[in-house]
Amino acid sequence: MWLTNSSIGRKVVMSVTGIALILFLTFHLVMNLVAIFSTEAYNLICEFLGANWYALVATMGLAALFITHIVYAFWLTAQNRKARGNERYAVVERRETVKWTSQNMLVLGIIVLLGLGLHLFNFWYNMQFQEIVGNHEVLLGGQNYAVHDGAGFIAYTFSNPIYAILYIVWLIALWFHLTHGFWSAIQSIGWSNDLWINRWKVVSNIFSTVVVAGFILVVVWFYIASL
């Protein structure tokens, strides 16, 4: 099957899964921004997206996208390293046309993955997972939080300056990953040409900046509110 047996096919798979994850990231940002304006509305969304069957199906689908994207990223990196062989050790200076971001996409991806693990621990584990196993409340910092109290979990997490800093570092790494990954994915699936590739790069930078700035706003907003 060409999606697994060819380099182009593997790039297409990683690109399509990447675009799907970007769409989810956009939805997640809009949802989180609701918490700034109305904690009640945000908690209603969290309750709607609890351990209901449709939310569980979506969670499994999202997990499949993440795993596929990560596996193919490592696969392509190993393939590229093998193809270059010893030539990569002979390069003393990077070509000016090769940006730092493209050279370090795997490292950035690993940082993003570690941040995702932290995020799942702070939120998914305390919310949907607890509901799945039959718990209705979670004890954090000597206080009980209902599993649907998403706003409460946000406030609790970002009141800790260490968590706030870790999330901002994670989001900065995500920004670098997105600025290259967005237009690269568009290019890999053939939606660009010599004229549009530069336009997609601009769109990629603007989109990544808006998304990451929005998430950082949520972190900073709740941290300041806790002071």
pLDDT tens for 83-138 read: 665 454 444 444 444 466 667 777 888 889 999 999 999 999 999 999 999 999 99
Confidence label for 180 from pLDDT (cuts 50, 70 and 90): confident
Q: What is the Cα–Cα distance from 20 to 26, expressed in whole angstroms?
A: 10
Give pLDDT, residue 99: 67
Q: What domain range includes position 185?
A: 2-226
Work out the mean pLDDT of the chain and round it to a whole number: 87
Distance of CA 210 to the CA centre of its chain: 14
Q: What is the Cα–Cα distance from 183 to 176, expressed in whole angstroms?
A: 12
CATH number of 21's domain: 1.20.1300.10
pLDDT tens for 146-174 read: 999 999 999 999 999 999 999 999 999 99
Q: In total, how many domains does the chain have?
A: 1
User: What are the φ/ψ torsions at residue 143 (nearest 5 degrees)?
Assistant: -130, 140
| Three-state secondary structure string covering 50-91 | CCCHHHHHHHHHHHHHHHHHHHHHHHHHHHHHHHHCCHHHHC
